Amino acid sequence: MAGHVLALVGGEEPPSTPNAAARLVGAALQHLRTEKRLNQADVVGKVQGIKSGSTLSRYENAGTKLDEYTVVALCRFYGAPEIIVEESVLLVRQSLQQGWWAGYSDVVPEFLAHLFALEASSKVIRTYQQINIPGMLQTAGYARAVMHGFYQAHADEKVRRANEQTVRRRLHVRQQRQHLLDQDDAPIYEALIAESVLTQALGGRGPMREQLRQLYNVAENKPNVHIRILPSQALELGGALHPAMTLFKPHHSDVGRMVYLENHNRNGDYLVKTDEVERYQAALDDLWLRSGSKGETLTLLGQYIDRLVDGSDE
**Tens digit of each residue's pLDDT (9 = 90 or more) over 236-252:** 878 899 999 999 987 65
Residue at which a domain ends, from 38, 68, 95: 95
Is 50 exceeded by the pLDDT of residue 263? yes
Residues 17 and 79 in one domain: yes
Q: What is the pLDDT of residue 231?
A: 93
Is residue 102 domain-resident?
no
Contact 134, 219 (CB under 8 A): no
Residues 57 and 131 in one domain: no
Report the alpha-carbon distance of residue 35 to residue 172 in Å, rounded: 48
Residues 189 and 241 in one domain: yes
Residue at which a domain ends, from 95, 129, 162: 95
Is 70 exceeded by the pLDDT of residue 155? no
pLDDT band at 150 (very low <50, low <70, confident <90, very high): low
Q: Regarding beta strands 244-250 and 225-230, do their DSSP bridges make them parallel or antiparallel, or are they unpaired?
A: unpaired
Q: How many helices (H) and strands (E) does the chain have?
A: 12, 6
Report the alpha-carbon distance of residue 291 to residue 49 in Å, rounded: 56
Residues 45 and 118 in one domain: no
The phi-psi region of residue 189 (left if phi > 0; otherwise alpha if psi is between -120 and 50; otherwise beta) is beta
Is residue 290 domain-resident?
yes
Q: What is the pLDDT of residue 94?
A: 78
Report the alpha-carbon distance of residue 314 to residue 117 in Å, rounded: 37
Residues 91 and 200 in one domain: no
Domain harbouring 198, CATH code: 3.30.870.10
Q: Which domain holds residue 67?
A: 3-95
Contact 278, 239 (CB under 8 A): no
| pLDDT over 70, % of the chain | 88
Name which residue leads in pLDDT, 10 or 205: 205
Residues 298 and 189 in one domain: yes
Residues 126 and 255 in one domain: yes
Contact 200, 296 (CB under 8 A): no
Is 60 exceeded by the pLDDT of residue 314? no
Is residue 103 domain-resident?
no
Residues 210 and 277 in one domain: yes
Mapping DSSP to helix (H, G, I), strand (E, B) and coil, where does residue 188 land?
strand
Name which residue leads in pLDDT, 298 or 108: 298
Neighbouring C-beta atoms of residue 149, cutoff 10 Å? 10
Residue at which a domain ends, from 71, 95, 119: 95
Is 70 exceeded by the pLDDT of residue 11? no
Contact 274, 11 (CB under 8 A): no
Name which residue leads in pLDDT, 118 or 282: 282
Is residue 51 domain-resident?
yes
Contact 215, 137 (CB under 8 A): yes
**Residue range 146-158: average pLDDT?**
70
Partners of residue 227 on adjacent β-strands: 191
Report the alpha-carbon distance of residue 90 to residue 87 in Å, rounded: 5
Domain harbouring 56, CATH code: 1.10.260
Is 70 exceeded by the pLDDT of residue 12? no
Is 50 exceeded by the pLDDT of residue 112? yes
Question: CA angle, corner 277, sides to 115 and 190, nearest 5?
Answer: 60
Domain count of the chain? 2
Q: What is the pLDDT of residue 255?
A: 60
Per residue in 183-237, pLDDT tens? 888 999 999 999 999 999 988 999 999 999 999 999 999 999 999 999 999 888 7
Residues 78 and 55 in one domain: yes
Closest CA to 225 of 261, 194, 186, 253: 186
Per residue in 17-72, pLDDT tens? 677 778 888 889 999 999 999 999 999 999 988 999 999 998 998 888 888 889 99
Residues 194 and 282 in one domain: yes
pTM (global) more than 0.85: no
Is residue 172 domain-resident?
no
Residue type, 134: P
Is residue 86 domain-resident?
yes
Report the alpha-carbon distance of residue 231 to residue 196 in Å, rounded: 8
- List Cα–Cα distances, 203 to 59, 141, 264, in angstroms: 51, 7, 18
Residues 119 and 22 in one domain: no
DSSP state of 1: -
CA 246 to the chain's CA centroid: 8
Rg (CA), the chain: 23
Residues 27 and 89 in one domain: yes
| pLDDT over 90, % of the chain | 48
Mapping DSSP to helix (H, G, I), strand (E, B) and coil, where does residue 247 land?
strand
